[in-house]
Structure 1
Amino acid sequence: MRVIVIGSGFGGIAAAIRLAARGHQVTLLDKRDQPGGRAYVYRQDGFTFDGGPTVITAPWMIEDLFTLAGKRMEDHLTLVPIDPFYRIFFSDGASFDYSGDSEAMESRIHRLTGSSADVEGYRAFVAFTEKVFAKGFTELADKPFLHVSDMLKVAPDLMKLQSYRSVSGLVGRFVSDERLREVLTFHPLLVGGNPFQTTSIYTLIHHLERTWGVWFAMGGTGAIIAAFVDLFRELGGTLKLEAEVGEIRVDGGRASGVTLTSGREIDADIVVCNADVAGAYRSLVPRSARRKYTDRRLARTRYSMSLVVIYFGTDRLYRGDDGPALAHHDIILGPRYEGLLHDIFREKRLADDFSLYLHMPTLRDPTLAPPGGEAFYVLAPVPHLGGATDWNVMAKPYRDRIMGFLEERYLPDLSRHIVTEHMIDPRHFETELNSYLGSAFSVEPILTQSAWFRPHNRSEDVDGLYFVGAGTHPGAGLPGVLSSAKIADDLIAEKGR
């Protein structure tokens, strides 16, 4: 069959590889000048910056795509383990190394909290997340939820696993120390969720990381995309860049191809869309073909926060000689945890304070910067464009506050040593990535927007149209979007069209 895949992010390119491996004629389209979607790579002044995903988990899911094509991942890609997984800095100056080593974690927890009860609580929490993982990921992550009966079958198990609680609510049943609660609840932010609202099913991430680790691709995340593109082409697939889709053509209720913004029409038997779900339904699928996913329904949906991301390179090293020792992945928590998240997710208000994720990949791969330099990426969760923030006005002062804070607390004399910089904000997600409201992770992962309640992988409005990526089931994050590609591939194989 002739298949068009719209968007070459991880979900799109994984779906394209799977479909090409089945022998379909697959054309992968992307509006930008490089593949990767949110995993775009910025190269400037001798520095290489990963544009998006940097925390690599579930490496077997990457390896599966090479195996499908009869290739060995090791011949195309080098993944190295990261330890600690994260270094977490608290506003009081203390830090905590989060890793998969049980003995080390328990020792660190005792030093942080001084409480044997919290150590015991952590052990019980870890055991509980194993059960959540077994049901929520192993059994359900790559299964489609197309019918309400699919949800009803698993509802009793999900209730037993307390999925009705938030991540924060569940963690609070096991440990009492506030800083430890922050350590154990920040993960949903990596997939667009508020820990105080996101369903506790997402605590499965703890077991995923503990069991299979956190990894880094030498050369950056972009090296994974490059290896996937090579694999796709070896399977006979065609990649077309700077090919923006203006419309998904629908004839007789069925997807029949796409029309590019250039006016060119490309016919297809199947269309797989890796574009933002809400943005695609609103902008690409004709309104006359949308019975369920109307503009009104999409406007009522809750969406994840957006991001400000600053990529910057320095002409000196920062290895802890005159400041705190940084790790590969650093979580820098502000003085307000729940209050800040309330401002971002509920009030849609840009607060004066912030929490940050600081990525320092040159600790493992110095080739990402010129000799003697460092490549950094700092990320701040911010409200999506449904709020009142005018980013034309606020982008520069917000950037200055973040960089000033980093210089004062973590990177001495930073302003004198920055030699290159690039910044994106919610406007980028809306215009470059066609993400509705500039949301960075599409549909927010709350219980009533999960599984069957989430936009389905097979369109309910248009036959022959399938969705992969962060906004569909099972959700954002690399394991989630790779699972969505497997679901779409299985559904297409099952239906035959």
Structure 2
Amino acid sequence: MFFKEEGKTMKKAVVAGAGLGGLASAITLASKGWDVTVIEKNSHPGGKLMPVALGSYQFDFGPNTITMPQVFERVFQYAGKRMSDYLEFIKLDQHTVNFFPDGTHFYFSSDADAMKKQLKNLDPKGYENYDRFLAEITRLYKLSETHFFPRMFKSVLDYASPSLSYAFMKVRPLETMDHFFRRYFGNEHVVQAFNRYATYIGSSPYQSPATFAMIAYLELVQGVFYVKGGNTRIAEAYFSLAKEMGVQFLMNTKVQELQVSNKRINTVLLANGHELTADEVVLNADLLKAYPELIAETDRPKFTDKKRNSYSPSISAFVITAGIEGKIEKLAHHSVFFSSDYRKEFEDLFSSQSYSEDPTIYISNSSFSDPAQAPDGSNLFILVNAPPLTEEGRLQISPQRYKTLIYETLEKRGISLTGRIKEERLFTPLDIQDTFGAYRGALYGISANKKWDAFMRPGNFPADIQNLSFAGGSTHPGGGSPMVTMSGMNVGEEIAGRKR
């Protein structure tokens, strides 16, 4: 049903980047009868949702915490398929264990009674307020789902619509996340655990707006999921779907330049010298890096290099993938070891652009739920928040020294890895920049620390180029695998629905 009809001219689209946004846009366009070619500089589909294999240990580099499976399912529906025939989503009821320096720990769960049972002794204020808290984060999410997620921002006038302005003022845009959580919780450890949701958008809870407290709704109401066999299976399934629908892929191929004439891209020049033409081009890449690199500044007067430099990049990450001999009983699927001074940690990251000497450490141990991922032990994906690279592209730390600090910190917190590390690989912000084309190594594109940037990310359709659109975490509706997927579907629908 998706093949070219005889005698009928198909519209052509080139998608630059096979991340989840690019794959979603390609599948959406193919389902509408378009001839689609996807260009990807890496050998794997999925962008940051990258598989890492070290001996018998398997890791997901990209999003370890999966929410909103209904968004991923919509892509399969475009292809006329059932997601359950391709992927098995496993709900993690007690999904994240939070550990604190004084020995306190508690877990996050989508079971409200389980949460209240813990809060009753740990945080009496939180216990009394928990139902009200759930109601408020549900309200924030529903407003976003109705007014922000599906909306396509094509010009500045879209931001001025009465319905959007009304919704905007209802989502606590002027309150910080930290202030919001303190309305409902009194225990500092509990507040700290909730404040970590700001890092999901690469930002600080002391600066980013309370609107993003809706992330708590996704985890504590809808739930956290894991895809059996690894979350990278999502990208692999999309890749297979797209090929079934006739989408062509040029893997290990880099776009060199998008050549513009009369405000339209007329040629997609590849690094190997080949040229492609298309009616529409979708740029599924970090637009802060790719847009200025691929299109001459004279062809994008409303997005100059100076404007690009005015955006604050999100945090990056320092990652250790470690294959460990044996199981570590203390670790759940997701575990977080919090620092003793969370506010200082974010001041280090954003104000001084330096690495914390007392970092919060996140560990994904997917073998807890899926032993086949590490048949010889445990597959620890260890992540510490890192500042983006300096403007000159410099890494501010010695990777080996910082790795040692992380291991020593874990040792003090009861996680001894000495003599048990069988496989190991480090990823720094430099690796993130080079592998994924991320501006200054930022994981989430633009930070939400500035109120304006939090809500007015670059739109999906640049004002200067008529047949170019953006999909991915650096454009609307934002970062995170569901939002990126949503951006790809939104763009695909908009392009296919245009009158020509």
Normalised by the shorter chain, which TM-score bucket?
over 0.9
1:333-375 per-residue CA deviation (whole Å, 9 max, x = no partner) reads 1111111011102221222110111000001111112x33111
Deviates more, 1:398-407 or 1:265-274: 398-407
1:426 alignment counterpart? 429
Q: Report the alpha carbon displacement of residue 178 of structure 1 after superposing the two structures with TM.
A: 1.3
Note the 1:105-124 alignment, pairs <5 A: 105-113=115-123, 115=124, 117-124=125-132
> Measured at CA, do residues 266 and 308 of structure 1 come closer, stay the same or move farther in structure 2, by a change above 3 Å?
same
1:405 to 409, 417, 427: 409
> Measured at CA, do residues 372 and 107 of structure 1 come closer, stay the same or move farther in structure 2, by a change above 3 Å?
same
C-alpha separation between the residues in 2 aligned to 1:486 and 1:366?
Answer: 34
C-alpha separation between the residues in 1 aligned to 2:354 and 2:454?
Answer: 25
Corresponding position: 1:365 with 2:373 = no
CA RMSD in angstroms comes to: 1.7
1:450 alignment counterpart? 454
C-alpha separation between the residues in 1 aligned to 2:270 and 2:401?
Answer: 38
C-alpha separation between the residues in 2 aligned to 1:212 and 1:68?
Answer: 23
C-alpha separation between the residues in 1 aligned to 2:406 and 2:38?
Answer: 37
Q: Report the alpha carbon displacement of residue 487 of structure 1 after superposing the two structures with TM.
A: 1.9
Contact 2:101 2:413 in 1 (8 A): no
1:48-82 per-residue CA deviation (whole Å, 9 max, x = no partner) reads 11111111100011111111111111111111111
Q: Report the alpha carbon displacement of residue 221 of structure 1 after superposing the two structures with TM.
A: 1.2
Q: Report the alpha carbon displacement of residue 38 of structure 1 after superposing the two structures with TM.
A: 0.5
C-alpha separation between the residues in 1 aligned to 2:68 and 2:308?
Answer: 31
Contact 1:349 1:389 in 2 (8 A): no
1:134 alignment counterpart? 142
The 3-state SS of whatever aligns with 1:37 is coil
Contact 1:96 1:108 in 2 (8 A): yes
> Measured at CA, do residues 247 and 307 of structure 1 come closer, stay the same or move farther in structure 2, by a change above 3 Å?
same
C-alpha separation between the residues in 1 aligned to 2:260 and 2:39?
Answer: 18
The 3-state SS of whatever aligns with 2:87 is coil
2:386 alignment counterpart? 382
C-alpha separation between the residues in 2 aligned to 1:263 and 1:176?
Answer: 61
> Measured at CA, do residues 133 and 40 of structure 1 come closer, stay the same or move farther in structure 2, by a change above 3 Å?
same
C-alpha separation between the residues in 2 aligned to 1:478 and 1:65?
Answer: 13
Contact 2:319 2:428 in 1 (8 A): yes
The 3-state SS of whatever aligns with 1:258 is strand
> Measured at CA, do residues 410 and 228 of structure 1 come closer, stay the same or move farther in structure 2, by a change above 3 Å?
farther
C-alpha separation between the residues in 2 aligned to 1:181 and 1:198?
Answer: 15
2:345 alignment counterpart? 340
Corresponding position: 1:468 with 2:456 = no
Contact 1:188 1:194 in 2 (8 A): yes
C-alpha separation between the residues in 1 aligned to 2:159 and 2:130?
Answer: 30
C-alpha separation between the residues in 2 aligned to 1:185 and 1:393?
Answer: 26
2:211 alignment counterpart? 201
2:176 to 138, 148, 166: 166
Gaps of 5+ in 2: 1-10
**Number of equivalenced pairs:** 487
> Measured at CA, do residues 288 and 198 of structure 1 come closer, stay the same or move farther in structure 2, by a change above 3 Å?
same
| Matched residue type, 1:138 | T
1:8 alignment counterpart? 18
C-alpha separation between the residues in 1 aligned to 2:408 and 2:190?
Answer: 27
The 3-state SS of whatever aligns with 2:48 is helix
Q: Report the alpha carbon displacement of residue 389 of structure 1 after superposing the two structures with TM.
A: 9.5
2:185 alignment counterpart? 175
> Measured at CA, do residues 55 and 26 of structure 1 come closer, stay the same or move farther in structure 2, by a change above 3 Å?
same
1:455-476 per-residue CA deviation (whole Å, 9 max, x = no partner) reads 1101122111100111001110
| Matched residue type, 2:354 | R
Contact 1:276 1:469 in 2 (8 A): yes
Gaps of 5+ in 1: none
Note the 1:343-358 alignment, pairs <5 A: 343-358=348-363
1:326 to 326, 331, 337: 331
1:434-474 per-residue CA deviation (whole Å, 9 max, x = no partner) reads 211111111112431134x2111011221111001110011
C-alpha separation between the residues in 1 aligned to 2:89 and 2:414?
Answer: 28
The 3-state SS of whatever aligns with 2:38 is strand
The 3-state SS of whatever aligns with 1:186 is helix
| Matched residue type, 2:29 | L
C-alpha separation between the residues in 2 aligned to 1:250 and 1:71?
Answer: 37
1:439 alignment counterpart? 442
User: After TM superposition, which residue ranges in structure 1, 4 or more long, deviate above 6 angstroms?
Assistant: none
> Measured at CA, do residues 416 and 457 of structure 1 come closer, stay the same or move farther in structure 2, by a change above 3 Å?
same
| Matched residue type, 1:473 | H
C-alpha separation between the residues in 1 aligned to 2:201 and 2:324?
Answer: 29
| Matched residue type, 1:489 | G
2:238 alignment counterpart? 228
2:6 alignment counterpart? none
The 3-state SS of whatever aligns with 1:292 is coil
Contact 1:450 1:473 in 2 (8 A): no
1:151 alignment counterpart? 159
Contact 2:363 2:382 in 1 (8 A): yes
1:87-132 per-residue CA deviation (whole Å, 9 max, x = no partner) reads 111121211111111111111112222x2x3322232221111111
1:85 alignment counterpart? 95
1:352-406 per-residue CA deviation (whole Å, 9 max, x = no partner) reads 110111000001111112x331111010101101379953851110011112222
Contact 1:256 1:270 in 2 (8 A): no
The 3-state SS of whatever aligns with 2:419 is helix
Contact 1:188 1:195 in 2 (8 A): yes
C-alpha separation between the residues in 2 aligned to 1:257 and 1:373?
Answer: 50
1:43 alignment counterpart? 53
1:391 alignment counterpart? 395
Task: State the percentage of identical aligned residues.
Answer: 30
C-alpha separation between the residues in 1 aligned to 2:392 and 2:353?
Answer: 7
Q: Report the alpha carbon displacement of residue 486 of structure 1 after superposing the two structures with TM.
A: 2.1
C-alpha separation between the residues in 2 aligned to 1:148 and 1:3?
Answer: 26
1:13-37 per-residue CA deviation (whole Å, 9 max, x = no partner) reads 1111111111111111111121121
The 3-state SS of whatever aligns with 1:242 is coil
**What TM-score does the superposition give when structure 1 sets the normalisation length?**
0.94
Contact 2:154 2:462 in 1 (8 A): no
The 3-state SS of whatever aligns with 1:381 is strand
The 3-state SS of whatever aligns with 1:487 is helix
Contact 2:108 2:220 in 1 (8 A): no
Corresponding position: 1:243 with 2:253 = yes
Q: Report the alpha carbon displacement of residue 252 of structure 1 after superposing the two structures with TM.
A: 1.4
> Measured at CA, do residues 4 and 70 of structure 1 come closer, stay the same or move farther in structure 2, by a change above 3 Å?
same
C-alpha separation between the residues in 2 aligned to 1:146 and 1:293?
Answer: 14
